[in-house]
């Protein structure tokens, strides 16, 4: 066996969870000490956990992996002379065992050396992991775009159109028959029907009974921010409204297709109780939820789709239409690199039509290069302006609710950094990965983003100098702190190439940059500084920090 050494001091709890849910992993072992295989590092990419790269003698070998990683090196590594008592494995996987020519007996020997930390395949969550999972990003598009896309695949949707003014809304209402229609504020947030606009107008989804009423309501919505439980107090700007013919459902169902990490593929989630909060249904009536994993090679077969339609309770007249709709939805899912298609409700109308009455579609951000049309529908007014700004300069930034700013290179190290802040009683203010290009300009852009949040009381910089030199990072950090005249304490942990020179530069700068080698100590200091600054702000006094406290 061999040790897999990660480019981080402490493995991320989020990474452990992802590894534990791979089919190949029986259990996870966390080494209590570091032991290295000379010339061999395996760096795990936590965003795409099935992709990895292996370096031998510091020479990267680019590889592509699918479902399970297969590792190789050049020149070949000799594992025969590595003492077995210093060998630990991070995640025991069959492909990895084959790569190092390890037999089952070797894995058995490993079990005797150290008691494994066994993680359940599901429902293993920390508060931090939940907050990060909820922040996962993908492209979301407006309902009118979703309806048009589904209609182009032959899926039934109510007749309607999008309007950007009261006059346009009135015309569309006339065109669709206007005496019984629904007008919907086009805002990328749930709970629109119960939301309130910043002008006091209530309800982002309303029934209208005349074209003139459609115009009046549209003018109350367009140009105003809709505030819902999902948007928070800031709300989101409504730039348009979607007016559709009002349909009366004989039956309402819920149907979604999404990527499922546990089954490593698409899964269809359906329920006979549509038109309501599916999470409430799952909690109160779990037996009403039908979950069907899809083999990505065979797709949704006629039999599978027909069984789902029958189990949901479509009438005999609609079974075949419902089957076709399910298969067409899956085709959209695959063709467009979707990560989620949610239809709630999927209705059988009184005249036995099968219609997607409301559609929510999300797409994989990594597919933008081949989904040009879909990504041209992105509405940047519906996204966090700071995250949009970060993306434009090549930074991976997600704003969170804490008060300790984080600047890290590498998503895995960023996750580990947030984990250890949380474990020490602090709360991260952001996820910020500057990637391999941790240049002075990238650091400046990152600091601009972090310091724009008034809640930030300390900044934790955690950089692994593999591709970049730590002394270059230190110079950039000093320059940025000087130019910004930053008063917020900065805790810097720079490890890797030229780290001694970097530490000297930081210590000699005379700035409020505290260089700390140990990850745990750096996290503790960040939390302590944050608490001190927060207390000072609460009583409206200033606070100064100097080296050596």
Q: Which residues are annotated as a binding site?
A: 184, 191-193, 252, 344, 358, 409, 466-468
Residue 292: per-residue pLDDT: 94
Residues carrying an active site annotation = 254, 342
C-alpha to C-alpha distance for 496 and 8, rounded to whole angstroms: 11
Residue 67: per-residue pLDDT: 29
What string of DSSP letters covers 137-169?
Answer: --EE--HHHHHHHHHHTT-----EEEESSHHHH
Q: Which residues are annotated as a binding site for ATP?
A: 184, 191-193, 252
Q: Which residues are annotated as a binding site for substrate?
A: 409, 466-468
Q: Which two tokens stand for residue 86?
A: 């210093």
Residue 505: per-residue pLDDT: 92
pTM over 0.85: no
Residue 66: per-residue pLDDT: 31
C-alpha to C-alpha distance for 503 and 509, rounded to whole angstroms: 10
C-alpha to C-alpha distance for 203 and 195, rounded to whole angstroms: 5
Residue 437: per-residue pLDDT: 64
Q: Which two tokens stand for residue 168?
A: 């346009």
Vertex 542: Cα angle to 517 and 405 (nearest 5): 40
Beta carbons within 10 angstroms of residue 146's beta carbon: 24
Residue 97: per-residue pLDDT: 36
Residues 296-316 have pLDDT tens digits of 999 999 999 999 999 999 999
Helical ranges in 59-126 per DSSP H: 94-99, 104-113
Domains of the chain, first to last: 13-124 (no CATH), 159-245 (3.30.1490.20), 250-375 (3.30.470.20), 384-538 (3.40.50.261)
Report the chain (549 residues): mean pLDDT per 10 consecutive residues.
35 43 41 32 33 32 32 39 35 37 33 35 34 54 96 96 96 90 93 91 94 96 92 89 93 94 90 80 83 94 96 94 98 96 93 93 92 92 78 80 91 90 94 76 86 92 85 89 89 91 90 90 94 87 65
C-alpha to C-alpha distance for 384 and 390, rounded to whole angstroms: 10
Query: Residues in the chain, how many?
Result: 549
Beta bridge mates, 319: none
Residue 546: per-residue pLDDT: 66
* Torsion angles phi and psi, residue 70, rounded to 5: -115, 125
Residue 419: per-residue pLDDT: 93
C-alpha to C-alpha distance for 349 and 471, rounded to whole angstroms: 67
C-alpha to C-alpha distance for 108 and 118, rounded to whole angstroms: 15
């Amino acid at each position: 066996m061999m040790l897999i050494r990660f480019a981080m001091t402490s493995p991320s709890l989020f990474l452990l969870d992802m590894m534990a849910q791979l089919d190949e992993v029986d259990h996870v072992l966390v080494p209590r000490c570091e032991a290295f295989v000379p010339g061999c590092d395996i760096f795990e990419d936590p965003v795409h956990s099935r992709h990895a790269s292996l370096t031998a003698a510091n020479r990267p070998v680019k590889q592509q992996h699918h479902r399970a990683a297969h590792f190789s090196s050049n020149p070949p590594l000799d594992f025969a002379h590595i003492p077995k008592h210093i060998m630990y494995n991070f995640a025991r996987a069959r492909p990895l065992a084959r790569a190092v020519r390890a037999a089952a007996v070797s894995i058995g020997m490993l079990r005797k050396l150290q008691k494994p930390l066994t993680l359940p395949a599901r429902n293993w969550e920390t508060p931090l992991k939940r907050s990060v999972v909820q922040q996962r990003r993908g492209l979301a598009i407006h309902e009118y775009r979703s309806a048009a896309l589904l209609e182009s695949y032959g899926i039934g949707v109510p007749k309607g159109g999008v309007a950007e003014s009261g006059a346009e809304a009135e015309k569309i209402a006339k065109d669709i028959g206007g005496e019984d229609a629904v007008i919907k504020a086009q805002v990328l947030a749930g709970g629109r029907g119960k939301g309130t606009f910043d002008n006091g107008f209530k309800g982002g989804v309303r029934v209208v009974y005349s074209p003139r009423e459609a115009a009046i309501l549209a003018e109350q919505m367009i140009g105003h921010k809709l505030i819902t439980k999902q948007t928070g107090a800031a709300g989101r700007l409504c730039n348009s409204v979607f007016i559709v013919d009002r349909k009366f459902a004989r039956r309402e169902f819920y149907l979604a297709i999404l990527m499922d990490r546990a089954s490593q593929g698409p899964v269809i989630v359906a329920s006979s109780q549509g038109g309501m909060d599916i999470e409430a249904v799952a909690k109160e009536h779990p037996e009403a939820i039908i979950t069907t994993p899809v083999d990505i090679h065979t797709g949704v077969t006629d039999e599978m789709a027909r069984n789902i339609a029958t189990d949901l309770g479509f009438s005999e007249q609609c079974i075949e239409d419902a089957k076709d709709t399910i298969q067409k939805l899956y085709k959209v899912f695959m063709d467009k690199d979707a990560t989620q298609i949610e239809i709630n409700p999927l209705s059988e109308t009184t005249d036995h039509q099968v219609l997607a009455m409301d559609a929510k579609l999300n797409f994989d951000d990594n597919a933008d290069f081949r989904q040009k049309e879909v990504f041209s529908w992105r509405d940047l007014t519906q996204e966090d302006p700071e995250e949009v700004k970060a993306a434009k300069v090549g930074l991976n930034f997600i704003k969170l609710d804490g008060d300790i700013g984080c600047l890290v290179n590498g998503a895995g190290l960023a996750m580990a950094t947030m984990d250890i802040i949380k474990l020490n009683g602090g709360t991260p203010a952001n996820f910020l990965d500057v990637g391999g290009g941790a240049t002075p300009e990238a650091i400046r852009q990152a600091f601009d983003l972090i310091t724009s949040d008034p809640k930030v009381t300390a900044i934790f910089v955690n950089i692994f100098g593999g591709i970049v030199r730590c002394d270059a990072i230190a110079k950039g950090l000093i320059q940025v702190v000087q130019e910004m005249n930053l008063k917020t304490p900065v805790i810097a942990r720079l490890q890797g190439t030229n780290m001694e020179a970097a530490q000297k530069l930081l210590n000699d700068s005379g700035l409020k940059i505290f260089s700390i080698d140990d990850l745990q100590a750096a996290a503790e200091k960040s939390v302590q500084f944050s608490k001190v600054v927060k207390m000072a702000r609460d009583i409206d006094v200033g606070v100064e920090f100097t080296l050596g406290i």
